[in-house]
């Protein structure tokens, strides 16, 4: 698969979808998590819904996505978003709720409000937890992506895995599984582990 280009094409296709879906999840999930933590009305009304939807396996969104978007990349990206955005929101909410109240009172004393408060106080103070939320969201997005790709012709790693199953080609199935594992470990080690370590060291919650 590596020699004939199938593996590289599948990896690039899957990572492209992952990037789009995960990017949307981050842009929506972090503000949603901050709102759930800081706005009592939203916390009361939306948190039970968010937690309930998070308990729904991401693959359950695929039939709805197919009805809305048809057999397209958009359907898979939608599944990726629904698989990760709620996890990011819940973890971000926990990170914001874990901020030292003294920091918030000090910011209020200096009259820091609005976007300046959110961008200059809340997010920096919650950053170690937000990084963990991003890491958690990535793992959910990766699983949702592969599950979605396995269910119809999509050109990604999931389809390559499904084709191996249909052809009863065990080496192909195992090879794709190894590729999936290696990509997951690489992204975790190179990206998230590095960022997490630097943030924790900068914020004084890890050894130098």
pLDDT in tens, 138-159: 888 988 888 888 876 677 888 8
Q: What is the CA radius of gyration of the chain?
A: 20
The pLDDT value given to residue 204: 65
Is residue 3 in a domain? no
**Higher local confidence (pLDDT), 115 or 162:** 162
Cβ(141)–Cβ(80) under 8 Å? yes
Q: Which run of H or of E encompasses 30?
A: helix 6-38
Is residue 9 in a domain? no
- Number of domains the chain is built from: 1
Q: What torsion, rounded to 10 degrees, do the Cα atoms 131, 95, 87, 13 define? A: -20
Q: Given a cut of 80, is residue 118 above it in pLDDT?
A: no
**How far is it, in rounded angstroms, from Cα 104 to Cα 143?**
37
* Residues 61-115: tens digit of each pLDDT: 888 888 888 877 888 889 899 889 999 999 988 888 887 778 777 877 777 777 7
Task: Provide the residue range defining the domain that includes 51.
Answer: 15-155
Q: Given a cut of 90, is residue 23 above it in pLDDT?
A: yes
* Residues 25-61: tens digit of each pLDDT: 999 999 998 888 888 888 888 888 888 888 888 888 8
- B/e letters for 176-186, b = 16+ CB within 10 Å, e = fewer, are beebbeebeee
Is residue 8 in a domain? no
The confidence band for 205, taking pLDDT boundaries of 50, 70 and 90, is low
pTM given for the model: 0.83
Is residue 192 in a domain? no
The CATH number of whichever domain residue 89 belongs to comes to 1.10.3720.10
């Amino acid at each position: 698969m590596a020699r004939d280009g199938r593996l590289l094409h599948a990896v690039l296709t899957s990572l492209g979808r992952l990037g789009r879906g995960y990017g949307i999840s981050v842009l929506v999930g972090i503000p949603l998590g901050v709102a759930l933590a800081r706005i009592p009305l939203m916390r009361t009304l939306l948190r039970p819904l968010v937690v309930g939807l998070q308990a729904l396996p991401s693959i359950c969104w695929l039939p709805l996505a197919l009805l809305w978007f048809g057999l397209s990349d958009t359907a898979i990206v939608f599944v990726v978003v629904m698989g990760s955005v709620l996890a990011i929101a819940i973890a971000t909410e926990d990170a914001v709720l874990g901020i030292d109240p003294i920091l918030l009172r000090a910011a209020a004393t200096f009259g820091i409000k609005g976007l300046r408060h959110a961008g200059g106080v809340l997010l920096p103070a919650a950053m170690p937890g937000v990084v963990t939320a991003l890491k958690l969201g990535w793992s959910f997005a990766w699983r949702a992506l592969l599950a979605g790709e396995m269910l119809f012709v999509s050109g990604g790693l999931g389809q390559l895995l499904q084709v191996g199953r249909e052809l009863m080609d065990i080496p192909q199935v195992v090879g794709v599984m190894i590729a999936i594992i290696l990509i997951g470990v690489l992204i975790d080690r190179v990206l998230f582990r590095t960022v997490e370590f630097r943030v924790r060291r900068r914020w004084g919650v890890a050894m130098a």
